[in-house]
Amino acid sequence: MKSIYENEMKLEFLSKSNNEAFARISVAAFASQLDPTVEELADIKTAISEAVTNAIVHGYEEKEGIVRIKCRIIDNVLTVEVSDSGKGIENINEARKPLYTSKPNLERSGMGFTIMESFMDELKVESVIGLGTKVTMKKTIKKEDEKLESSFNSFAEMNN
């Protein structure tokens, strides 16, 4: 019978932009128990930065609120939920389009959801106007033997 590894972490902080780095590092530290590669860890940190920044800039705008992060590990899958109780997203499909931004006056590229989607294996966005938004992201961290096999295959392809 296969054993299941499980762990969970919850974090809450004020929607201040200087807390974005704290959130990114905290999630990376939690994910490190899966022994991710430097690249996998960088992917996770980038996605967390985008999700937290969205909550701060778009969810709460000029107001202060609470950003919540819930991380869960089951076997080698990291699930991260980033949520706010802010204004919500009117049109999720439109907001997920590359280069879309609800704040064209800011120097932002409108690539937040696109970046999250490209760095994580799954992305789900739920939002209710006036109640807030929850972004759920999943990333499978390859086991050591899978990493070795992948490296070996890449090496073999280079030498063929």
What kind of architecture, by CATH, is found in domain 6-158? 2-Layer Sandwich (3.30)
Residue 125 pairs in a beta bridge with 135
Query: Which DSSP letter does residue 106 get?
Result: S
Point out the catalytic residue in the list 54, 61, 64, 93: 54
The helix-helix angle for 19-31 and 38-54 (nearest 10°) equals: 140
Instruction: Give yes or no: 24 in active site.
Output: no
Run means of pLDDT, 10 residues per run, the chain, 160 residues: 84 96 97 96 96 93 94 97 94 74 59 88 95 97 66 65
The pLDDT, as a whole number, for residue 6 is: 94
Please state, in angstroms and rounded to a whole number, the distance separating the CA atoms of residues 75 and 55. Answer: 28
Answer yes or no: pTM beyond 0.85: no
The pLDDT, as a whole number, for residue 97 is: 75
The pLDDT, as a whole number, for residue 61 is: 85
Point out the catalytic residue in the list 20, 24, 40, 50: 50
Instruction: Give yes or no: 105 in active site.
Output: no
Point out the catalytic residue in the list 108, 144, 153, 159: 108
Q: β-strand 77-84 against 132-140: which pairing, if any?
A: antiparallel
11 contacts 26 by C-beta, under 8 angstroms: yes
Instruction: Give yes or no: 108 in active site.
Output: yes
Q: Which helix (H) or strand (E) holds 158?
A: helix 144-158
